[in-house]
Structure 1
Amino acid sequence: MFYTNRLPFHFARNPNYRSSYAYATTYNILGYVPLRYNALRTTLLQKERGNVERLLKPIKDSWIANGVSIVSDGWSDPQKRPLINIMAALDRGLVFIKAIDGSGEFKDKHFIAGVLKDALNEIGHEKVVQVIIDNTSVIKFARALIEVANTRFSSVVVMLKKLKLIKRCLQAIVISDQWAAYREDDVGKAQKVKEMILSDCWWDIVDYILEFIAPIYDMLQIADTDRPCFHLVYEIWDSMIEKVKAAIYRHEGLEDDEYSSFFNVVYDILIDRWTKNCTPLHCLAHSLNPNYYSIEWLSENPKCIAPHQDHEISMDRSNCLERYFEDESELRVVKIEFAAFSGGRFPSPDALTDRWALQPLVCWQYHGSSSFPTL
């Protein structure tokens, strides 16, 4: 009752609890004495733990053959103590390993890494396939093996990269004697896996997927940071689509002006996603990035045009400015200042050079208050 229902041991000290047993035994089992506090928390608890260990033994014995994932997460108990759970996960379910009380500990990357290393040693590093942890900054710095996010797209890319990294090891596994023994469990599935891993064609497909998905993955990584990147999003999306197209066209051997049915499907998906996410504020931020007016940026790609020459960007930028500046006279001043900014009419002669040489925020801090105070 205590272990299954998670009753606290001090409940055994409650006089009402003890009297209830006395009443029950008066009519049923004469002389029965309820379990006492010390017995519950010592000898009986040890016996129950031994019983649980016996029940878990078949599961733990399978770890060496099938591999296991270490799962870790932090939480606070009712006493507000910071706890770190360590669990082992397999297709048969989770097995709780231990909970670590982090009270009084400085939970930096060294502490977290130490906790995970101890878990690896306790379970056995030869049994562990991966470590699954949360996405906090201290966990990232701890670098415990590899972390696969719960986003479907990202997890696929991370796993494919991992497969490519251990390609030779996988090929060695499927031609080993141990693989032949494993085949007894499911001959058909084992044979299919072996054929795939030994197939150059299959690995070429993996390489191709990673090649055209890489620009999308890179874009997500740039956007998923603590640094300001709102002023970069519009351009990143544009250049990402061009890079995806280049990878697909290169693989299919097509010229830039030819039609690709596959790219057309990918393009529609990307544009649909961008349409849902793009706001006039993205266009305003893009328009106010000094880098995109510099000769250096415009000469990188013949398709690059300055933001004030792009019709779509200009329309959304105008809508955004009109919402920000409701006063007509103030809006008029902002329009004049933006015309001067986008046209390169700066009072300071070194401002044109600084548009490319300095970070956008630094450039605005240095030149903005004197040149375009309202904007």
Structure 2
Amino acid sequence: MTDAWSDRQRRSIMNLCVNSKLGTVFLSSKECSNEAHTSENIFEYVDKCIEEVGPENVVQVVTDNASNNMGASKLLKEKRPTIFWISCATHTINLMLEAIGGLTRYKKIIDQAKKLTVFIYSHHKSLALMRKYTKKRNIIRPGVTRFASAFLTLQSLSEKRVQLRHMFTSKEWEDCKLAKTVKGTSSYATVVSASFWTGVIICLRVFTPLVKVLRMVDADWKPSMGFIYGELQRVKKEIINALNDNKNAYGPIIDIISKKSSKRLDTCLHLTTYILNPYYFYNNPDVRDDLEANDAVVDFIGVLFP
């Protein structure tokens, strides 16, 4: 698994880790400040580490979806055709969530929620009042990714809806100087708006199935490869049901999930582990007759034993 980042001194660092059934182990780190992160440089670094570990011990290389990583994957395929290069599931699912959150219907609610929480946390008086009415419980909760944090904030707002309404309609808030400001009146309008809370509920119904998959693939407690494809199929069904089978509502979301999954989370490796996973194979008879998955098994074997 590779990851590139910058430290506090703005040095460009590339890390390599190995993941197996025993967990994740740090393998190597390289400073790349004087080098461009080209496909060739990434490939050479990864290939050198594959040689150290032993090519026969490597099933796949996992990176994010940046174009230079995708270029490196082609170089690896030429030299080591039996090793897969797979997009990071956490990164891909987060891209799905961000794209769905960018749709007008959901972006409006997320933006309103952000403005409300930023306003509350920007002032000592509003923060103290909020903690008083919520019994010292916070709204903002950190998640595994930036969008997961936004989702958790929406979830937290929904849980504290009654307390926030009591706060913004209280005598204490009415007497507070912040209540007379532009941002104060805007926050008040948001909290007492029925359409805002309805929008929050719809957002949670749409995002919750994907966030569950995000948590699964980001956790270390169980290998997730055999569940990714099957869970994304379940996500699509849950979202369609959540939006009352309204194609105009669910269509753009399903398109985003399918587009982001294509050639990233629906490779022959994903489909093979899906059809060989007893959780799906024995629970759903249709899985055995899935032509695409059966063809993927043949392709997978063809890669491992050309």
- Return the TM-score normalized by structure 1: 0.43
1:65 aligns with 125
The Cα of 1:173 is off from its aligned counterpart by 1.1
The Cα of 1:263 is off from its aligned counterpart by 1.2
Structure 2 distance, partners of 1:293, 1:184, is 59
Structure 1 distance, partners of 2:144, 2:219, is 17
2:235 aligns with 240
Q: Residue 268 of structure 2 contacts residue 299 of structure 2 at CA under 8 Å; is this kept in 1?
A: yes
Which of 286, 291, 298 matches 1:305?
286
Q: Residue 234 of structure 1 contacts residue 282 of structure 1 at CA under 8 Å; is this kept in 2?
A: yes
Matches within 5 A, 1:172-211: 172-184=166-178, 187-211=181-205
Whether 1:279 aligns to 2:267 is yes
Which of 248, 264, 276 matches 2:251?
264
Give % identity: 20
The Cα of 1:219 is off from its aligned counterpart by 1.6
Q: Residue 219 of structure 1 contacts residue 236 of structure 1 at CA under 8 Å; is this kept in 2?
A: yes
Q: Which amino acid aligns with 1:249?
A: N
Whether 1:321 aligns to 2:298 is no
Q: Residue 143 of structure 2 contacts residue 149 of structure 2 at CA under 8 Å; is this kept in 1?
A: yes
Structure 2 distance, partners of 1:310, 1:202, is 42
2:114 aligns with none
TM-aligned CA distance change 1:219 to 1:184, over 3 Å: closer
Matches within 5 A, 1:1-375: 64-67=124-127, 130=138, 147-149=141-143, 151-184=145-178, 187-226=181-220, 227-249=222-244, 254=246, 260-275=247-262, 276-294=264-282, 297-298=283-284, 305-307=286-288, 309-326=289-306
Structure 2 distance, partners of 1:269, 1:129, is 35
Q: Residue 231 of structure 1 contacts residue 289 of structure 1 at CA under 8 Å; is this kept in 2?
A: yes
Q: Which amino acid aligns with 2:155?
A: K
2:53 aligns with none
Q: Residue 183 of structure 1 contacts residue 191 of structure 1 at CA under 8 Å; is this kept in 2?
A: no
5+ residue gaps, structure 2, are 1-121, 129-133
The Cα of 1:157 is off from its aligned counterpart by 1.0
Secondary structure of 1:322's partner? helix
- Ranked by relative contact order (alpha carbons within 8 Å, sequence separation 6 or more), the top structure is 2
Structure 2 distance, partners of 1:147, 1:188, is 26
Structure 2 distance, partners of 1:320, 1:218, is 28
Structure 1 distance, partners of 2:273, 2:127, is 49
Q: Which amino acid aligns with 1:268?
A: D
Q: Which amino acid aligns with 1:242?
A: K
C-alpha RMSD of matched pairs (Å): 2.9
Structure 2 distance, partners of 1:318, 1:161, is 43
Give CA-to-partner distance per residue, 1:139-179, whole Å, 9 cap, x none: xxxxxx97412623211210011101111211111112332
TM-aligned CA distance change 1:277 to 1:247, over 3 Å: same
Q: Which amino acid aligns with 2:299?
A: N
TM-aligned CA distance change 1:217 to 1:150, over 3 Å: closer
Q: Residue 212 of structure 1 contacts residue 247 of structure 1 at CA under 8 Å; is this kept in 2?
A: yes
Number of residues paired by the alignment?
179
Give CA-to-partner distance per residue, 1:303-359, whole Å, 9 cap, x none: x6124x212212222111111123xxxxxxxxxxxxxxxxxxxxxxxxxxxxxxxxx
TM-aligned CA distance change 1:66 to 1:262, over 3 Å: same
Structure 2 distance, partners of 1:306, 1:273, is 22
Structure 1 window deviating more from structure 2 (277-286 vs 177-186): it is 177-186
Q: Which 4+ residue blocks in structure 1 deviate beyond 6 angstroms?
A: none
Structure 2 distance, partners of 1:324, 1:317, is 11
- Return the TM-score normalized by structure 2: 0.52
Q: Which amino acid aligns with 1:284?
A: T
TM-aligned CA distance change 1:205 to 1:279, over 3 Å: same
Secondary structure of 1:278's partner? coil
The Cα of 1:236 is off from its aligned counterpart by 0.5
TM-aligned CA distance change 1:154 to 1:265, over 3 Å: same
Structure 2 distance, partners of 1:66, 1:221, is 32
The Cα of 1:224 is off from its aligned counterpart by 2.0
